[in-house]
Amino acid sequence: MFDTATALALLQYGDSAYPAGGFAFSWGIEGLAADGLLENARDLDDFVWEHLTLRWNSMDRVLLDRAYRAGDIAAIAAIDRDAEAATPSAPMREGSRRAGRALLGVSVRLGGALSVAYRTCLADAPHLGHLPVVQAVVYRDAGLAPQAAELVSGWTLVHGLVSAAVRLGVIGHVEAQRALQSARAVLAELLAEPMLPDALPSSFTPLIDIAVSRGKARPIRMFTT
């Protein structure tokens, strides 16, 4: 059980109003909708499940956990390089870096010591700053335990996916709440299984990767990814 202080921190960092630019990323939802593969709430549930199970749990969560346990800035940067290498899709790499650096910038402005040090490290490393690694840095500065950091990481992804579907007109606000309820159950089940310390990052979401990769060819775009 989380204590009151941790619960309040989770509410703050998991809030869609947290100014880290998350509204700019749909993580493939926009492309899937444009290609006719995401048309209703059932489709959204399927793709949220895919994101959580086949990407977040097996890659983002692994990288976050490793970065959280890293002993120094150099070790965190090494994990960041692993994130770069483990993401074959160039648009997904770019989106992850943009989202990560936006989150890091907010934490720096809030005075996070580790965040300040890591941003200095990134000054000469434009290929680093991936979101799950930065989440570990920021949530360590926030005083969140590893389990709480995993929870807010997974929840911000879920909320971003569902919010993107609402903004695209795929679902309405009541359907969005049902989607969040369904995603909560999936996320809770994943988090019930502890992360193995020797887990390696991997993902398999080909439809999502293709949808994101086709983004630059689309005449109109609302989201970065």
Answer whether residue 55 is part of any domain. yes
For residue 224, what pLDDT is reported?
Answer: 78
Q: Look at residue 179 and tell me whether its pLDDT is greater than 80.
A: yes
d(CA 183, CA 53): 11
> Does any domain span residue 102?
yes
Q: Dihedral angle at the C-alpha atoms of 44, 50, 52, 56, nearest 10 degrees? A: -130
Which residues constitute the domain of residue 113?
35-217
Domain tally for the chain? 1
The verdict on pTM exceeding 0.85 is: yes
Decide if 143 is inside a domain: yes
Looking at the domain assignment, is residue 224 inside a domain? no
Half-sphere exposure of 82 (CA within 13 A, CB side): 20
List all residues 6 or more positions away from 151 whose beta carbon is below 8 Å from its beta carbon. 10, 14, 187, 191
> What is the predicted pLDDT for the residue at 25?
85
CATH number at residue 73: 1.10.4190.10
- 139 pLDDT above the threshold of 90: yes
